[in-house]
Amino acid sequence: MSDAPTLAEICVVACAEAFRGDGEILTSPIGVIPTLGARLAALTFEPDLVYTDGDALQLGAPVPLGDEHAPKIVEAWMPFGKMFDVVWSGRRHVIMGATQIDRFGNQNIACIGPWARPKVQLLGVRGAPGNTVNDPTSYWVPNHSPRVFVPAVDCVSGVGYDRAAAAGPTASQFHEVRHVISNLGVFDFETDDHSMRIRSLHPGVTLDAVQAATGFELVVPDPVPTTRLPTDEDRRLLRDVLDPAGQREGEIRT
């Protein structure tokens, strides 16, 4: 393929890379781009990944997004109650969203403002605490801004590295916030104090631009890597197999 990949396709590949090395583990990607990332990883470098149709069926092959009539290869039944058994076992990697996230990976999807009397009520903490203390967790943020990347979250839903350490071994033993993927780059916590580090910036994104869009100082490697571009095969799978309707383009903020 000679045409250039889109930003959405670069973000899909970045989400796929979050699953590299996971092996046979259940993926729970939330959102179009994380879902495509998980399925792209399963079709390329992580063939043992387990994923569902977003409801209660474990699939043996991905179906195109938006095609309600596509045939499904069903390998198992995965009802909601069974998901809790998987969560407690640690054999799950979820990519959640984040209304707010701070430098140590604490995530907020519950409320904006004081929790006792919030300005805005959001989803609630949902399953974020259990996810983060039991399983690898990553985050997808389609609009990187200082309103999302904040010095301190208003309410802790997903547990970050500082909170897990303060709570002791029961919270920190299996805790892993792996990657934060945004429309500007990929970030991790592979630093001495587990503060957020730039893992890579997407092509064309400058260090000044990403720092201006972040409400705290990022750890900056030298040199700053560039996010991996989709291969020709990645793009073929995305465009012809996984998302021929192009739903990925509607989720990204350019």
pLDDT digits (tens, 9 = 90+) for 102-118: 999 999 999 999 988 99
Q: Which residues contact 107 (CB under 8 A, 6 or more apart)?
A: 96, 98, 100, 101, 128, 132, 139, 153, 156, 157, 158, 160
Here the tokens at position 74 are 């069903």
Residue 54 pLDDT > 90, yes or no? no
Q: Tell which wins on pLDDT, 192 or 79.
A: 192
Which pLDDT band, with edges at 50, 70 and 90, does 254 fall under? low
In tens, the pLDDT along 156-179 reads: 999 999 999 999 999 999 999 999
Here the tokens at position 172 are 């920190």
Here the tokens at position 85 are 């058994």
Which pLDDT band, with edges at 50, 70 and 90, does 1 fall under? low
pTM score of the predicted model: 0.95
Residue 17 pLDDT > 90, yes or no? yes
CA–CA separation, 147 and 11 (whole Å): 20
Lowest-confidence pick of 82-96, 135-149, 214-228: 82-96
Q: Tell which wins on pLDDT, 169 or 84.
A: 169
Give the pLDDT score at 79: 84
Q: What does the buried/exposed string (b/e) look like for 47-80 if buried means 16 or more CB atoms within 10 Å of the residue's CB?
A: eebbbbeeeebbbeebbebeeeeeeeeeeeebee
CA–CA separation, 6 and 3 (whole Å): 9
Ordered by start, the domain boundaries in the chain are: 7-250
- What is the rounded (10 degree) CA torsion for 182, 185, 190, 195? -60
Q: What is the CATH number of domain 7-250?
A: 3.40.1080.10
